[in-house]
Structures are given as structure tokens and as C-alpha cells.
Amino acid sequence: MAMPRRHATSVIAAGFVLAAALLSGCGSDDESPSEPATSATSAATSAPAAPATDNGQAQTFTVTVDDMTFSPADLTISVGDTVTWKFEDDVVHGVQGIGDKAMGINSPLFTEGEWSYTFTSAGSFRYLCPIHPEMRGTITVE
């Protein structure tokens, strides 16, 4: 029934905010905050974020075509990146874009080999295997 008290940091943060308010608010002593500011708990959220991926550097991603499956079926890339489909199945496959926007995705048929396509505009590009329309994948370009 005893609940652990985890309020230490928020109390400190509230005190810090209060001190800062007192320091900066010279001349306004009339308003004495009677309640601790509960909305100031997120004062210390400026932790350093992970380094951003370097923009402008084109990358190549691989989609493996094997076992009647595109893997990964859903892939998110950046504008300018290239996707290489690696055909490794015993059965003939290809990649064919669905819809006008994905018209450029149109590979020959392979049992073995690679085919690459560079995405130069953002959007969601769906494709399938023309031989096995149930084989589908999506490239999301951001």
C-alpha cells in the first residue's frame, strides 16, 4: 500500500522554475504562487537527440525476392535513394509498379539477378510481381 515517492525531480524542477521566476520577475512580488506549478514537469526535456542521418547522401536498399515474397515488403527510404531487388527464388519473378506514379518500376523477369530503381520523388509506391500478383510490396519515399 505504500507508494514510492517519485516526485523528487518534479519538485526540484518546480523549485527551479519558481526561483527563475523570482529572479526574472523583479518588482512583482504581489503574486505569490500558492500551488506548485504542475505544468512545469517537462522543463528538462532538452536531452540531446540522436544524431540525424546525414541528409543528401543517397543510399541503396536491398529487397530480397525469395520464397514468393518481397522482403522487406514495406520499406521507407529518402528521395534520391535506390532500391535494388535481389532475385533469389527458384521461380521467375519481377517487379511492376501499381498506378501511374509507380510506372517507372518495371523490371524484366528474373530467376536470378538484380534490378535497381532510384526514387526521385516522394510518395508511396506500390508494386507487385506481374507473374504472382499476390506478391506485393510498398516503397515509401520521404
Shortest Cβ 39–Cu ion spacing (Å)? 56
**106: helix, strand or coil:** strand
**Stretch touching Cu ion by CB under 5 A, among 21-29, 49-57, 76-84, 134-142:** 134-142
**Stretch touching Cu ion by CB under 5 A, among 21-29, 30-38, 52-60, 129-137:** 129-137
Q: Is residue 136 close enough to count as binding Cu ion by CB under 5 A? A: no
Cβ closest to Cu ion, residue 63 vs residue 129: 129
Interface with Cu ion in residues 71-100 (CB under 5 A)? 93
Contacts 24+ apart (CB under 8 A), 56-65: 56/80, 58/82, 58/118, 60/84, 60/116, 62/86, 63/137, 64/88, 65/89, 65/93, 65/95, 65/110, 65/129
Cβ closest to Cu ion, residue 112 vs residue 142: 112
What is each CA distance from 137 to 37, 41, 82, 88, 125, in whole angstroms? 50, 43, 15, 16, 8
Shortest Cβ 96–Cu ion spacing (Å)? 10
Shortest Cβ 48–Cu ion spacing (Å)? 46
Cβ closest to Cu ion, residue 14 vs residue 128: 128
Cβ closest to Cu ion, residue 93 vs residue 117: 93
Question: 41: which residues sit within 8 A by CB, 6+ positions away?
Answer: 10, 13, 14
Residues at the site binding Cu ion, with contacts judged by CB under 5 A = 93, 129, 131-132, 135
